[in-house]
Structure 1
Amino acid sequence: MSDTTAEIVLFDGFDELDAIGPFEVLENAAEAGGDLETRLVTLEGDTDEDGLVTASHGLRVEPEGTLGRPDLLIVPGGGWTTPGGVRAVVEDGALPDAVGECYENGATVASVCTGAMILSHAGLLEGRPAATHHVAVDDLEAAAATVVDERVVDDGDVLSAGGVTSGIDLALWLVEREFGEEIASDVSELMVHERRGAVFTSSSD
């Protein structure tokens, strides 16, 4: 894949590491030679009066723009058993609809942690293998996904990662898949991140 545009979509209550971990991996991959541009984005109208989005632990982030038509879309998690975060986003419906539209336009879509519930409500996980945080496993199974107890699950054009830190593993796997082992290894070494274990793929079962 060349000239790849990656977007990480933010919303109030997103988990900081779910988004910033993959962002740093992808930015480092670009510096290491990957033909990749990464942006933090939000839906139009989803920032406060200062143009910021507030994450689950209070970090305030200024998105670089609104969700476009990326080649790769990463959806963080953050909250499912609480009223805000992913729970509020799913109940609102706008972000799941936008994620589904990106997928229909040809984007590869990946989730981190409870972001899988957004993908599920976008209609992307029915009958497909997926990972999520343990607090959302029962709900994801109820939505007809096949939950896999792995850090990273690759089902081709839809990927998912199980917990907060696994977003880094997910991003490193995407770098390896799209730009090669050498660039992924360079990024892993730079970030002093012990490489993840085997990735569950559709051919793994």
Structure 2
Amino acid sequence: MATFDVEIVLFDGFDELDAVGPYEVFDTARSFGADLTVSLVTLDTPGQVTASHGLRVEADGSLSTDAAPDLLVVPGGGWTSDDGGVRRVVDEGRLPAVAAELAAAGTTVASVCTGAMILAEAGLVDGRPATTHEAALDDLAAVAGEVYDDPAVRAVDDGDVLTAGGVTAGIDLALWLVEREFDADVAAAVATELEHERRGTIVR
């Protein structure tokens, strides 16, 4: 079996924890024996990206449809701002188009927080169950088949498309993906290492 390749796509204005939380979960799972790689990527030439709270992050590489990852994670951040990260990404249309292309090629696509609105623009949640941060639930409901607005629902797994609630729910989403793709014991070991208490439910 080939190594499971995870790419977390960054853009100016992304929420720090939406990306860094899942990154640490996946990298810790790797150290515990899960056969995976995890990297931070951008749409353009790799370089420094500034997150919503001012943290500057250096991306590892560029997102490419030529070598599609097994899993693409799309963070949120800035949906409620006219020029915020997700709002700008949706208006530009480039990342939604690439996400749709990767999904068509077989990549599993997951969003954290308002990253679900990027998936919505890509047409990936049309008529499907999904969730997001409470600030975007009404917007998501305009396209999704069923929207979970219960904060106890940490993530929704619809097979090849997964969505998580706000910010910290990305950690629960990543732990669930480790459990789904590898082993429940590995996911439990990662949660213990991070001292993270898994709570709520994963709808699937």
Q: 2:129 corresponds to which residue?
A: 129
Cα shift readout 1:2-56 (whole Å, capped 9, x = no counterpart): 41000000000000000000000000000001000000000015x6xxx210000
Quote the Cα distance in structure 2 between the aligned partners of 1:135 and 1:195.
23
Deviation of 1:107 after TM superposition, in Å, equals 0.4
Aligned equivalents of 1:19, 1:88: Cα separation in 2: 18
Aligned to 1:97, the other structure's residue is in SS state helix
- Asked if 1:59 corresponds to 2:55, the answer is yes
Q: Percent same amino acid at aligned positions?
A: 62
Runs (4+) of structure 1 moved beyond 2 Å?
none
1:48-197 equivalences under 5 Å are 51-68=47-64, 69-82=68-81, 83-149=83-149, 150-197=153-200
Deviations 1:36-95 (A, max 9, x none): 0000000015x6xxx210000000111000003100000000011102210000000000
Secondary structure class of the residue paired with 2:156: strand
Q: TM-score, normalised by structure 2?
A: 0.94
2:162 partner SS? strand
1:148: how far off? Answer: 1.2
Q: Secondary structure at the match of 2:201?
A: coil
Structure-2 separation of matches of 1:102 and 1:27: 22
Instruction: Assess if the C-alpha contact under 8 Å between 2:130 and 2:156 holds in 1.
Output: yes
C-alpha contact (below 8 Å) 2:141/2:147 kept by paired residues: yes
Preserved contact between residue 114 and residue 136 of structure 2 (Cα < 8 Å): yes
Q: In angstroms, what is the RMSD of aligned CA positions?
A: 1.1
User: TM-score, with normalisation over the residues of structure 1?
Assistant: 0.93
8 Å CA contact 2:107, 2:160 repeated in 1: yes
How many residue pairs get aligned? The number is 197
Distance 1:90 1:145 in 2: 20
Confirm or deny: 8 A CA contact 2:130 2:144 kept in the other structure: no
Gaps of 5+ in 1: none
Q: Which amino acid letter does the alignment assign opposite residue 65 of structure 1?
A: G
Q: Give me the whole-angstrom Cα distance separating, in 1, the residues matched to 2:109 and 2:134.
A: 21
